[in-house]
């Protein structure tokens, strides 16, 4: 005759008995599921962080390019060192048009 060690397990008003091996197996299975869920959450967080960083880098690159273009237009000078007004007027026109729309 084989004797099994039984563990009490309460489910609501019911009292269930499980073999020790079954209880350990189900606990192990739950732990593996929890671990897998935690890993998925970490991967999702890392992917979100990576995506936000990439968007941020693209926005910075776009800003720097726009700033460099504006500087290029504003820094043009005539032979005598006076600023070229055509570029400044063009920038003002663009600014007014963007404000109206």
Query: Which string of DSSP letters, residue by residue, matches 10-32?
Result: EETTEEEEEEHHHHHHHHHHHHH
Assess if residue 55 is contained within a domain. Answer: yes
Assess if residue 33 is contained within a domain. Answer: yes
Instruction: Confirm whether pTM is higher than 0.85.
Output: no
Assess if residue 87 is contained within a domain. Answer: no
Assess if residue 89 is contained within a domain. Answer: no
Q: Sign of the C-alpha dihedral, residues 92, 96, 97, 101?
A: positive
- Is the pLDDT score of 11 beyond 60? no
Assess if residue 62 is contained within a domain. Answer: yes
Which carries the bigger pLDDT value, residue 60 or residue 13? 60
Q: For the chain, what is the domain count?
A: 1
Assess if residue 42 is contained within a domain. Answer: yes
Domain containing residue 12: 6-75
Assess if residue 81 is contained within a domain. Answer: no
For range 43-66, the mean pLDDT = 97
């Amino acid at each position: 005759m084989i004797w099994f060690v039984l563990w009490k397990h309460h489910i609501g008003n019911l009292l269930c008995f499980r073999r020790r091996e079954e209880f350990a197996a189900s606990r192990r299975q739950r732990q593996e599921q929890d671990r897998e869920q935690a890993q998925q959450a970490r991967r999702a967080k890392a992917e979100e962080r990576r995506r936000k960083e990439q968007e941020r880098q693209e926005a910075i690159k776009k800003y720097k390019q726009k700033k460099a273009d504006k500087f290029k237009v504003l820094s043009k000078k005539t032979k005598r060192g006076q600023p070229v007004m055509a570029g400044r007027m063009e920038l003002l026109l663009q600014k007014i048009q963007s404000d109206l729309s």
